[in-house]
Chain A
Amino acid sequence: KAGVTQTPRYLIKTRGQQVTLSCSPISGHRSVSWYQQTPGQGLQFLFEYFSETQRNKGNFPGRFSGRQFSNSRSEMNVSTLELGDSALYLCASSKARGVGHEKLFFGSGTQLSVL
């Protein structure tokens, strides 16, 4: 069974540009969450999607957005990139949501560098 796949693995962008990251969850998983990982802030929750609807959102500016498609694949978009957006962006999937104890399966992440 294939794991969570994130593409691309590495990205280099310049300030002011926008970027789209992709996440394909494990087959049968309907919940997709996104996290930002930086050395200073650790792992921070961005948002969660389930059945094409955003269910939870972390404390990030509106420049960060996402969506989920009918096949559960998810994309994350960051507009008007800032230097501080440089981070490892992790996607996690799980079978369901709402009970709080579902195991998260993480992808290897997309390493975004903003120059």
Chain B
Amino acid sequence: AQSVTQLDSQVPVFEEAPVELRCNYSSSVSVYLFWYVQYPNQGLQLLLKYLSGSTLVKGINGFEAEFNKSQTSFHLRKPSVHISDTAEYFCAVNENYGQNFVFGPGTRLSVLP
């Protein structure tokens, strides 16, 4: 069965500083990997996804993530954050069927002025 771990429940960071949000997964088969962002009082939006190919994936709003198969990780990074990046970030995996994505518990990113 799939599972997703996001070790950091909250990450405070100052504006213009770099940030890394960690995600580890477990699965017995190959998976597709995703990062979604949820702004206050809104649904989730896709930031980026890894399907195959290059392990470095670039997404919207300057975010990128790197797939590391040996470490079963898919960490999200941004070199310089803005106040507007304050939100909750969810890592998710999906095996090759259906729409039952498995989401991690989320990491609340707070960008401080």
A contact set with B: CB distance below 8 Å: 4, 31, 33, 35, 42-45, 48, 55-56, 58, 90, 92, 94, 97-104, 106-109
- B103 adjacent to A42 (CB under 8 Å): yes
- Taking CB atoms, residues of chain B closer than 8 Å to A44 are 103
- A106 adjacent to B100 (CB under 8 Å): no
Query: Which B residue sits closest to A32, measured CB to CB?
Result: B99
- A45 adjacent to B94 (CB under 8 Å): no
- A100 adjacent to B43 (CB under 8 Å): no
- Taking CB atoms, residues of chain B closer than 8 Å to A92 are 43-44, 99
Does chain A have a CB within 8 A of B41? yes
- Taking CB atoms, residues of chain A closer than 8 Å to B96 are 99-100
- Taking CB atoms, residues of chain A closer than 8 Å to B95 are 100
- B106 adjacent to A98 (CB under 8 Å): no
Q: Which of A48, A99, A107 contacts B43 (CB 8 A)?
A: A107
B contact set with A: CB distance below 8 Å: 31-32, 36, 41-46, 49, 51, 90, 94-106
- B105 adjacent to A109 (CB under 8 Å): no
Q: Could you write out 7 A-B pairs with CB less than 8 Å apart? A: A31-B99, A42-B104, A55-B98, A90-B43, A101-B94, A108-B42, A108-B43
C-alpha spacing A28/B52, complex, angstroms = 26
- B105 adjacent to A42 (CB under 8 Å): yes
A56-B100 contact in complex given A90-B44, A101-B49, A108-B43, C-beta closer than 8 Å:
yes
C-alpha spacing A56/B95, complex, angstroms = 13
- B51 adjacent to A101 (CB under 8 Å): yes
- A101 adjacent to B32 (CB under 8 Å): yes
Query: Which B residue sits closest to A48, measured CB to CB?
Result: B99
**A54 CB to closest chain B CB, in angstroms?**
11
**B87 CB to closest chain A CB, in angstroms?**
13
C-alpha spacing A104/B99, complex, angstroms = 8
Query: Which A residue sits closest to B4, measured CB to CB?
Result: A42
- A33 adjacent to B43 (CB under 8 Å): no
